[in-house]
Amino acid sequence: MYGFYGHGGYPFMFDWTYLLVFAGLILSLAASANVKSTFSKYSRLRSATGMTGAQAAARVLHFAGIYDVTIERVAGNLTDHYDPRTRTLRLSDSTYGSASVAAVCVAAHECGHAVQHQKHYAPLVLRSTLVPAANFGSTMAWPVFLLGLIFSMQPLLTVGIVLFSLAVLFQLVTLPVEFNASSRALRILEGSGMLGDSELSAGRKVLRAAALTYVAGLAASVLQLLRLIILAGGRDRD
Ligand SMILES: [Zn+2]
């Protein structure tokens, strides 16, 4: 990689390590396409009870003994989320009023986050604690790292790598939070009899596809981190 730096020591866009970023991008795009097609497939499967995403969310929350969470509608597709600050569950246009198995499962997954919040689920607490550090890390990592490359200062390169690692750590902690929300959701959907067996297996596919987007996101970031380490190492030997 030595030769790719030219005389100024500035990495060109086409240095080979860019392939790592490219591979990450492909993984993320594939995961995103997969969740969209899986969701769209099971959006056409109407739930046997005929209940909508919003109705399902209300039932799941009550089943879990939660009565202080508000359910709202939010614009967009797959923009569903639980906001712990306001204890609000926001369901997207494609979930809120839809009586499909996909909608019920996504709504129940968001309820899973509300349950985690209520129970102070450790990975969720850790994740919330990491938010400021992760935001700072992802904003500052590249500027600091580039200054390190331009001025050939190893300490700046190291700081850039550490900053980027904070963002990666955040994504890593997100994984158990997401998988756990889905397993809570499926357990409640099964235990309350809201979904039958074949619906549950369809729901599992939808939620697994959604979780894979977080896995792909983490993989993409790890590849970028690896790239930074390789670039810093190349600098070292200059
Ligand atoms: Zn989630």
Res 11 pLDDT > 60: no
Ligand 1 centre and the CA of 181: distance in Å?
6
83 bridge partner residues: 88
> What is the CB-side half-sphere exposure of residue 210 using CA atoms within 13 A?
29
pLDDT tens across 144-184, in order? 999 999 999 999 999 999 999 999 999 999 999 999 999 99
Ligand 1 centre and the CA of 113: distance in Å?
7
Ligand 1 centre and the CA of 201: distance in Å?
19
Ligand 1 centre and the CA of 188: distance in Å?
16
Tell me the pLDDT band of 2, cut-offs 50, 70 and 90: very low
pLDDT tens across 173-213, in order? 999 999 999 999 999 999 999 999 999 999 999 999 999 99
Ligand 1 centre and the CA of 191: distance in Å?
20
Q: Which residues surround ligand 1, an ion (CB under 5 A)?
A: 178, 181
Q: Please identify every residue annotated as catalytic.
A: 110
pLDDT tens across 52-104, in order? 999 999 999 999 999 999 999 999 888 999 999 999 999 999 899 999 999 99
pLDDT at 72: 96
Ligand 1 centre and the CA of 107: distance in Å?
10
Q: Where are the domains of the chain?
A: 2-47+101-237
Long-range contacts of 65-74 (CB under 8 A, 24+ apart): 66/111, 66/114, 66/115, 66/118, 69/111, 69/114, 73/97
